[in-house]
Structure 1
Amino acid sequence: MKKRVLITGAAGFLGSHLCDRFIKEGFHVIGMDNLITGSLDNIEHLMPLEHFEFHHHDVSNFVHVSGNLDYILHFASPASPIDYLKIPIQTLKVGSLGTHNLLGLARVKQARMIIASTSEVYGDPLVHPQTEEYYGNVNPVGPRGVYDEAKRFQEAMTMAYHTYHGVETRIVRIFNTYGPRMRLNDGRVLPAFIGQALRGEDLTVFGDGSQTRSFCYVDDQVDGIFRLLMSDYPQPVNIGNPDEITISQFAEEIIKLTGTDQKVVYKPLPKDDPMQRQPNITKAKEILGWEPKVSREEGLKITYEYFKSLPQEKLFKKEHKDFSNYRR
């Protein structure tokens, strides 16, 4: 009998790749998403499969799943600035109420649950590279606070259920991840740069470009998450690629990759934008035997080919979803 796994945020970028991995590993996958930022296009190829089912549901409301469950992956959350700045209340709710609902489900079903935390729990870090023991430097009332604090609360709630109720839990702190199925205009630096290059626009760098990021290809990220879920380690673990690069250098890489001749233009840095992002992955190496395998050069080529294959209307379409029904 196949083991059953519930994946929330299943129609999102990372969630859909997790669905693929668990189908490949022989699980029966229950995907759940309210589609506020996800797209059914990402899981359309899974719909005909016998061992995949999709539930259109908002996990901030009570979650019911019939039958047994072996694992729960909570990956439902807006993850890009363009989203969580438009829907701040929903971002907080899915991190708090959604996490509470799913932990309750895990307790009832005696399922192991992993939550998608993020490097944003470190805020604008004063420690570099960031280790799991670092508590962070977060502005709770700044524009990014709704996302940062939702994730920090999510970790606290998860650990409380682990220590008080004995629920088997895992916490993954995800650093910048990229690959096919990212939304082209979601506000994150990599798709923003590639989108601008494909449209013949100058590349926009916020600040002076000296801030750094570390980009992990999605297949590596999914493998790290899978290994952590199957491990017996309940404390947070960083999963990301420690190959650090400045935003200015990254813009030049994209220009070279796309063969365009755009300029780089500079605009003011948004409030609380972190200056450095680089994971310390010692724990992932020692506990999970994991480290990234896909180089940035290789991963960017795959991602660029994916974006080039998109219809022209997607290339030039701006994100303008109607969030009016969610403002409550």
Structure 2
Amino acid sequence: MTGVLVTGGAGFLGSHLCDRLIARGEDVLCVDNFFTGSKRNISHLLDHPYFELMRHDVTFPLYVEVNRIFNLACPASPIHYQFDPVQTTKTSVHGAINMLGLAKRVKARILQASTSEVYGDPEIHPQPESYWGKVNPIGIRSCYDEGKRCAETLFFDYFRQHRMEIKVVRIFNTYGPRMHPNDGRVVSNFICQALAGEDLTIYGSGLQSRSFCYVDDLIEAMLRMMDSPPDFTGPVNLGNPAEFTMLELAEKIIAITGGSSKLCFKPLPEDDPRQRQPDISLAKKSLGWVPTVALDDGLKETIAYFRRMLAQ
């Protein structure tokens, strides 16, 4: 039995992961319910002999034969995960149960794509994996934050109870080509607004900070994590520790697009974290990984992608 299952494989990260797996000669089964994923992201793979696409929702059991599972299925932007919060929680929790059940049956190694949102609005900066987080369990972001936290719980309970081979990565802000143009995330928002000649929307003072990791760097880290020794389970932070304020990001995007957009300030959304920066010491030590793509270089690639897409 060989093969790699990628849930959420038609999404932003999932489609890039499928590309890398196919390039490595893997037999890839891409599963997606297309709530936020798009066939456009994987259309170039549809005729590849080692690629198979299946429409499926991970909140229902899946019966396939694979030896590795990357569980990426879940809407990841506030606009999308707050659209149907009950379904978002079910995707994280029922999805984890179903994929862990599959991994247990076929004795597959399984990786969970968790998130920096498990840290909530952090009191420690930067955030190490040992930090338990400060999360509102009943807020409008809780469906995603607590769903991912519960998924991590399930992974480690399956590991302890069934001695399964698990891997857990906590993904910090990632950007790049194939981002959804209407996902409400700051990079895609700013780029689309700048290309349309609109003012860039800044929430709050614009001094809240984020760390932005280019998608190629992130996928490399995920592959290294999956290939790491069985006794290294994580969780491990994956992200770029270079930190930028929203004002700095806006200025970079206006400069690269060559536009004349101004800044428009609006109130900060509920439970929006003020700071987010990964401590990647563990990834450096255990995976030999550090991000290599500078923000300016990654933004140029991402802006070029959005120019092409919006011109169609």
Q: The TM-score by the shorter chain falls in which range?
A: over 0.9
The percent of aligned pairs where both chains have the same amino acid is: 53
- Write out aligned runs for 1:238-249 (5 A): 238-249=237-248
Q: Partner of 1:98 in structure 2?
A: 95
- Write out aligned runs for 1:47-62 (5 A): 47-62=46-61
Counterparts of 1:142 and 1:79, CA distance in 2: 16
Aligned partner of residue 200 in structure 1, secondary structure? coil
1:223 counterpart = 2:220: yes
1:289 counterpart = 2:291: no
Superposed CA RMSD? 0.9
Deviation at 1:262, TM superposition (A): 1.1
Give the TM-score of the pair, scaled to structure 1: 0.93
- Write out aligned runs for 1:1-328 (5 A): 3-65=2-64, 67=65, 69-232=66-229, 233-312=232-311
Give the TM-score of the pair, scaled to structure 2: 0.98
Runs of 4+ in 1 over 6 A off after TM superposition: none
Which sections of structure 2, spanning at least 5 residues, go unmatched? Answer: none
Aligned partner of residue 35 in structure 2, secondary structure? coil
Deviation at 1:235, TM superposition (A): 2.2
Aligned partner of residue 6 in structure 2, secondary structure? strand
Aligned partner of residue 115 in structure 1, secondary structure? strand
Counterparts of 1:312 and 1:140, CA distance in 2: 42
Deviation at 1:265, TM superposition (A): 1.1
Q: How many residues align?
A: 310
Residues 98-142 of structure 1: per-residue CA shift (max 9 Å, x gap): 100000000011000000000000000000000000000000111
Counterparts of 1:93 and 1:63, CA distance in 2: 15
Counterparts of 2:212 and 2:45, CA distance in 1: 27
Deviation at 1:64, TM superposition (A): 1.2
Counterparts of 1:279 and 1:158, CA distance in 2: 22
AA of the residue aligned to 1:176: N
Counterparts of 2:22 and 2:84, CA distance in 1: 31
Counterparts of 2:220 and 2:252, CA distance in 1: 26
Counterparts of 2:149 and 2:106, CA distance in 1: 25
AA of the residue aligned to 1:203: L
Aligned partner of residue 15 in structure 1, secondary structure? helix
AA of the residue aligned to 1:172: V
Aligned partner of residue 43 in structure 1, secondary structure? helix
Counterparts of 1:198 and 1:256, CA distance in 2: 11
Aligned partner of residue 309 in structure 2, secondary structure? coil
Counterparts of 1:126 and 1:299, CA distance in 2: 29
AA of the residue aligned to 1:10: G
